[in-house]
Structure 1
Amino acid sequence: MTTATTDTIAPSSTPARHLWRRSRGPLLALLLLVVTGLILTALQSGERYGRLDPRSADRTGSRALAQLLAAQGVTTQVVTTSEEAAAASGPDTTLLVTDPDLLTTRQLTGLRTATAHTSGRIVLLAPGPIALKAFTPGVTTASQADNTARRPACSLPAARRAGDALLGGRRYVAPDGTADRCYLSGGLPTLLRLPAPDAGRDTVLLGSPDFLYNHRLAERGNASLALQLLGAHKHLIWYLPSLSDPASSDPASAQDDQRGFLDLIPSGWSWGLLQLAFAAVFAALWRARRLGPLVPERLPVTVPAAETTEGHARLYEQANARDRASAVLRAATRTRLAPLIGVPPAHAHTPDILLPAVQAHSTTAPAAEDGLHALLFGPAPAEDKALVQLADQLDELEISIVSQERHAPREHPDR
């Protein structure tokens, strides 16, 4: 009775054990992925603000700058929509747009219209061609420069008092001779100030926002430059554009925004692509150094010739290479027949020499020379059945000559 119970349980427990062995690897990987996700979520749960946010104390936040501005009596108002930014931009205010390239053409035009006839300042951080066309027509961008400490090299009072500061990023080309060009890179400014038209707002273009970060503010003249640019007026509108802005999803705005795919790619993409191309070439050369001349190696096992022949035959069959298969069969037959009928190996594949010798030594060869020529040097068969018939005929021809040579009378060496 115990044996019967064991026989009944064993078949069901064995598949369960095999199933667990096969699935425990993926299950452990899934568990590790879930645990990693939970840990990352717990670590990031305290991050409420993003880059350049005046409420963020992270390395890339701007809380330190906001506190310094507050100490000087400048109030900072954070807005996240273009409507709020336009409504808050009254007289004697500074409007800071941290990411102008996220705004649509309609949003940019609305901001420009709302701030055109009021005194104050507009500060744009790394604006692209679309934002420049809306706020500063005629100003264009050039290739980007590295972020490094640069000298002011201009007459702008704020820059001269600040001294060296961390600037770089986008460079600008302005046809207006009255613009202040500061912190040059290759003769082009990374800080460009355009004067206020008709007692309106002056516009400041910054190629890079790095000197506004918390961890960069204490370096060189970064804090002084930031305070003078953003604290020129008593009220600062800190606009943080986002994709969640209802105006950015407006169908009319989407129709007016004619950005192409290349407009969304940073200006330095060509250099990055060139670096990737060089990396690919160097990787190919590095891997090619491992290739060398072929080295013969003894195989651990011996492959029978019959298996190799069968493998070749199957490859020919899959590729429908009847021409190649028939050529191999005929060449092999001619090579084996030549020494049997007294034809030198060099002439084994010459019809004028081989065919008469075969005709003289074979009793089963076709009577007509044309038939023998078609058998040994003819065209490729048109179908598999004809290929099999050709192989049979070649075997019969070879067997007849071999058997004739085997039974031919030979002279005794003593006679």
Structure 2
Amino acid sequence: MKRWLRAAIPFAALTALITGTLIVHAVETPDDDDPEYLTPQQVQQISGGTLAERLRARGIAVDRFTSTEQAVKAANSGSAAVTLFLATPDLADLESIRSLPAGSTIVAVNPSASALRRSGWPATVANTYWNTGVAAPICGDKIANDAGPAAVRKTEYRTSRGSVCYNGAVAVFRHSWYNVTLVGSPDPFRDDRIAEHGNATLVVGLLAQHQRVLWLDVHERDRATPSPTPPTPTRTRDRPDPDDTYDGPLRPGESYADDGYYDDEASPYPGDGEADGDGRAEGDSEAGGGGLPSDPLVQSLPPALITTLILLALILLALAIAAARRLGAPVAEPLPSKVPANETMLGHARLYQRARARDSSLDILRAAARRKLTTHLGLAPHADSEQIAHRAGLPVRYVRDILDRDSAGSNSDLVEAATLLQHLVRDVTSTPTPPHEGEQS
């Protein structure tokens, strides 16, 4: 029982520590459905009121919308390019934002892999991390280089076109006739984190590329009203004929082909169509990447959970090795100091008692009794019970029951057998040694 407790207590303590850490992390992480999350209406810890104030101070108009359909209608009410800020892209109706004025910019905060699949953008999730980390730009984008290090590295992305900064935490690419910027963490946009590092310069620079910001503030799943016909982009004088560039709504897994509206020289972002900031060439997004394996089941699990399971497996393996029996024969070592024989005997007896080794204990007592009997009777050390009985003048059955009896099934049987051995040795050794056959007394 005590051995089981020694193995269970450390494991239980580790489990409690990990469980407590997961609970605290879940409580401290803001949810998309929280009404205060990145809303421009107030200045709170997880809100975006400070960012909205800084944009207005630079002369940028900030308009808040509570549905994707309203934001798209407002964007198409004029021909000027706008910035569509998706604070919660996982809840937005990404299928309805494809009709924006030419040259517009979409800034999406930490979109998940499922949101990217629904959007049809040429980007995938490469890595996710437990907490947001600070990274350097390491790219040629002017906005990122002006901001310097920023706390954006929680999700990293791959894109088959455009460029990436901050080790993939910020991805910029062109899709159809508008530009998309993916930011891998909400921390730079939050009121309690915007003043850290270069967060403020980065997010203000990303959202201030046009004179109007459409802030999509949705906190529940946004579904557009079904339309009998596919939406078509709004024709403007700067946009090519939709019949030449639009083939209806995208199906899952499809994306717009390069329609030639932008050429590589006119792209406002460096590296479009070339190797990105990590040195990956166009199209090198899945093969050889540093993300999770291609198994869908493994990809559905958070990397933190996989790391925790591996750590638990290693801990269990270490505990099993520590509690396993040692292999090999016992090694005799000299005692560091002299120990009284009585203490040694009692120590060995307690070890045998703790291990419940009754048979081993009885074998030791029998071997000691045989050694004393054969020495006193002048017999060979390997003499059997019958020879000992004849030499001592005792019944063979009596000696055999004592020296060769069955194993002890309980502690009382062991005590009884030890008592009989003690009486046999005392009775035989207390009398003079009988003469051998042929000798005269």
Q: Distance in 2 between matches of 1:265 and 1:192?
A: 21
What's the counterpart of residue 158 of structure 2? 173
Match of 2:302 among 221, 241, 265: 265
- 1:206-225 to 2 correspondence within 5 Å? 206-214=183-191, 217=194, 222-225=199-202
1:135-184 CA-to-partner distances (Å, cap 9, x unmatched) read 24442232469523425404xx7557x463526423322223xx3x1425
SS of 1:75's equivalent? strand
Match of 2:383 among 351, 360, 363: 351
Aligned-residue offset at 1:74? 1.5
1:185-234 CA-to-partner distances (Å, cap 9, x unmatched) read 3xxx432233242x5x5322112344334466457865444234324252
What's the counterpart of residue 237 of structure 1? 215
SS of 1:150's equivalent? coil
TM-score, normalised via structure 2 length: 0.51
What's the counterpart of residue 64 of structure 2? 77
What's the counterpart of residue 114 of structure 1? 96
Q: For residue 194 of structure 1, what is the amino acid of its counterpart?
A: F
Q: Distance in 2 between matches of 1:175 and 1:333?
A: 87
Does residue 1:403 correspond to 2:403, yes or no? no
What's the counterpart of residue 132 of structure 1? 116
Aligned-residue offset at 1:51? 5.6
SS of 2:394's equivalent? coil
Q: Distance in 2 between matches of 1:312 and 1:223?
A: 69
Name the larger-Rg structure.
1
- 1:236-385 to 2 correspondence within 5 Å? 236-239=214-217, 241=219, 245=220, 263=300, 265-266=302-303, 319=356, 323-343=359-379, 348=381, 350-351=382-383, 356=387, 359-360=390-391, 362-366=392-396, 372=399, 375-377=402-404, 380=407
Q: For residue 130 of structure 1, what is the amino acid of its counterpart?
A: S
- Report the CA distance shift for 1:308/1:152 in structure 2 as closer, same or farther (over 3 A): closer
Aligned length in residues = 301
- Report the CA distance shift for 1:135/1:312 in structure 2 as closer, same or farther (over 3 A): closer
Does residue 1:63 correspond to 2:49, yes or no? yes
SS of 1:351's equivalent? coil
1:224-249 CA-to-partner distances (Å, cap 9, x unmatched) read 442343242524224364xxx3779x
- Report the CA distance shift for 1:294/1:275 in structure 2 as closer, same or farther (over 3 A): farther
Q: Distance in 2 between matches of 1:386 and 1:265?
A: 60
SS of 1:90's equivalent? helix
Aligned-residue offset at 1:390? 5.1
- Report the CA distance shift for 1:217/1:340 in structure 2 as closer, same or farther (over 3 A): same
Equivalent pair of 2:402/2:421 in contact (CA under 8 Å): yes
SS of 1:147's equivalent? strand
Q: Distance in 1 between matches of 2:311 and 2:410?
A: 55
Structure 2: gaps (5+ residues): 1-33, 76-81, 224-295, 320-333, 436-441
User: Aligned-residue CA RMSD in angstroms?
Assistant: 5.1
SS of 1:380's equivalent? coil
- Report the CA distance shift for 1:70/1:280 in structure 2 as closer, same or farther (over 3 A): farther
- Report the CA distance shift for 1:132/1:355 in structure 2 as closer, same or farther (over 3 A): same
Q: For residue 383 of structure 2, what is the amino acid of its counterpart?
A: P
Match of 1:123 among 90, 107, 112: 107
Q: Distance in 2 between matches of 1:314 and 1:282?
A: 28
- 1:98-113 to 2 correspondence within 5 Å? 98-100=87-89, 103=90, 107=91, 111-113=93-95
- Report the CA distance shift for 1:143/1:334 in structure 2 as closer, same or farther (over 3 A): same
Higher helix share goes to which structure? 1
Q: Distance in 2 between matches of 1:363 and 1:342?
A: 14
Q: For residue 133 of structure 1, what is the amino acid of its counterpart?
A: R
Equivalent pair of 2:60/2:211 in contact (CA under 8 Å): no
What's the counterpart of residue 153 of structure 1? 140
Q: For residue 116 of structure 1, what is the amino acid of its counterpart?
A: R
Match of 1:96 among 85, 96, 105: 85
- Report the CA distance shift for 1:282/1:218 in structure 2 as closer, same or farther (over 3 A): farther
Q: Distance in 2 between matches of 1:303 and 1:127?
A: 72
Equivalent pair of 2:68/2:96 in contact (CA under 8 Å): no
Match of 1:164 among 144, 148, 163: 148
Q: Distance in 1 between matches of 2:44 and 2:143?
A: 27
SS of 1:54's equivalent? coil
TM-score, normalised via structure 1 length: 0.54
- Report the CA distance shift for 1:139/1:224 in structure 2 as closer, same or farther (over 3 A): same
Q: Distance in 1 between matches of 2:211 and 2:316?
A: 52
